[in-house]
């Protein structure tokens, strides 16, 4: 499995241009968002620094927003803060504060002042508009990297309430709220997976509660508040009641990632079992050239391959590290 990570690093290196940017260049953040984090994690800090320098020069505006020059394309048009959160975390891991601090100052302004959730549509959204669990959890992780405990705790409380207010039947999870914290139950055709996770149905977005759970594990570590760990366990248990593809789908990665964190924290072998199943399926989907084709957040853009490969590298390395934590 470590071979898979090595092959992914080599593939990413081949996509980097001399100026630090990544191919396909014209899609900007849709392809590079997770790459700074992936380069930092895989020992390629020099390449990560070059990429961050390019991002500051070509994708960061004077307000700290990302997406200038190339705009937001594909799924990023619907999830304004998700990709910038990964850029902030990666830039901070690399010590690129000209990127991480400026981008975080802008991203953190998208947090709802009352609920702690993040506005899905960015700065043009009103306070009654949608807040999504995915972007909120990603922003929470970025807040931890930035040492912004107030934002992180507000995100944590938002995600705790999302669990505690789930339908009593326990077979579905609403992934967005609006008008404060009212679950969005009515949405457009073809958007089911984005708004509701339904147990028993294939192709569900397990990465949303997975990212929420992983963030809550890290928040529990940061605050020494064990209640966050309990809710993280509930999220992972919910995912583990899903359909037969819950381990093998391209949507499963962050579910396994969260389980690996819980294994490192608790030593519970059930979490190791989940992690290993998701990791084996991830490696099985890898192409012979070291890349992955399909990221968790579905995209039809050519940059999906770059995004999926950076994502797969992050997941593989962090899941392996967490599996080894108990015996270390």
177-226 pLDDT per residue, tens: 999 999 999 888 888 999 999 999 999 999 999 999 999 999 999 999 99
Q: Kindly report, residue by residue over 24-36, the tens digit of the pLDDT.
A: 999 999 999 999 9
Note the pLDDT tens digit of each residue in 146-155.
Answer: 999 999 999 9
Give residue-wise pLDDT tens across range 107-142. 999 999 999 999 999 999 999 999 999 999 999 999
Q: Judge whether 35 and 51 are in contact, CB under 8 Å.
A: yes
The answer to whether residue 37 scores a pLDDT higher than 60 is yes
Over residues 254-265, the mean pLDDT reads: 98
* Cα–Cα distance measured from residue 210 to residue 141, given in angstroms and rounded to the nearest whole number: 12
0.75 surpassed by pTM? yes
Distance separating alpha carbons of residues 152 and 136, to the nearest angstrom: 10
pLDDT tier at 60, thresholds 50, 70, 90 = very high
Q: Is the peptide bond before 24 cis (omega within 30 degrees of 0)?
A: yes
In the prediction, which pLDDT does 327 show?
Answer: 60
Lowest mean pLDDT among 69-78, 215-224, 262-271: 69-78
Closest CA to 131 of 111, 106, 154, 160: 111
Contact 64, 99 (CB under 8 A): no
Closest alpha carbon to 31 in 313, 304, 314: 304
d(CA 302, CA 110): 29
Domains along the sequence of the chain with CATH: 2-325 (1.50.10.20)
């Amino acid at each position: 499995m470590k071979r898979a990570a090595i092959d992914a690093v080599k593939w990413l290196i081949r996509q980097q241009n001399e100026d630090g940017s990544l191919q396909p260049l014209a899609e900007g953040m849709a392809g590079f968002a997770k790459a700074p984090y992936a380069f930092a994690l895989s020992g390629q800090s020099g390449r990560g620094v070059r990429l961050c320098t390019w991002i500051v020069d070509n994708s960061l505006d004077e307000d700290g927003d990302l997406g200038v020059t190339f705009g937001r394309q594909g799924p990023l048009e619907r999830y304004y803060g998700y990709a910038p959160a990964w850029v902030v975390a990666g830039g901070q891991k690399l010590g690129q504060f000209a990127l991480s601090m400026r981008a975080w100052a802008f991203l953190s302004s998208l947090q709802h002042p009352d609920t702690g959730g993040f506005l899905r549509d960015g700065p043009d959204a009103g306070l009654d508009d949608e807040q999504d669990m995915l972007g909120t959890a990603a922003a929470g992780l970025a807040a931890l990297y930035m040492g912004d405990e107030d934002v992180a705790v507000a995100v944590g409380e938002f995600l705790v309430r999302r669990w505690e207010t789930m339908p009593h039947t326990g077979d579905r999870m609403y992934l967005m709220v609006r008008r404060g914290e009212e679950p969005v139950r009515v949405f457009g055709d073809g958007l089911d997976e984005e708004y509701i996770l339904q147990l028993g149905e294939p192709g569900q977005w397990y990465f949303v509660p997975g990212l929420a759970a992983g963030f809550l594990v890290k928040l529990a570590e940061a605050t020494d508040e064990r209640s966050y760990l309990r809710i993280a366990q509930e999220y992972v248990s919910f995912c583990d009641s899903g359909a037969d593809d819950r381990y093998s789908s391209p949507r499963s990665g962050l579910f396994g990632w969260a389980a690996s964190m819980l294994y490192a924290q608790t030593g519970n072998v059930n979490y190791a079992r989940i992690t290993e199943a998701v990791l084996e399926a991830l490696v099985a989907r890898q192409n012979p050239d070291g890349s992955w084709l399909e990221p968790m957040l579905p995209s039809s853009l050519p940059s999906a391959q770059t995004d999926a490969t950076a994502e797969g590298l992050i997941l593989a390395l962090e899941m392996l590290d967490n599996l080894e934590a108990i015996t270390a």
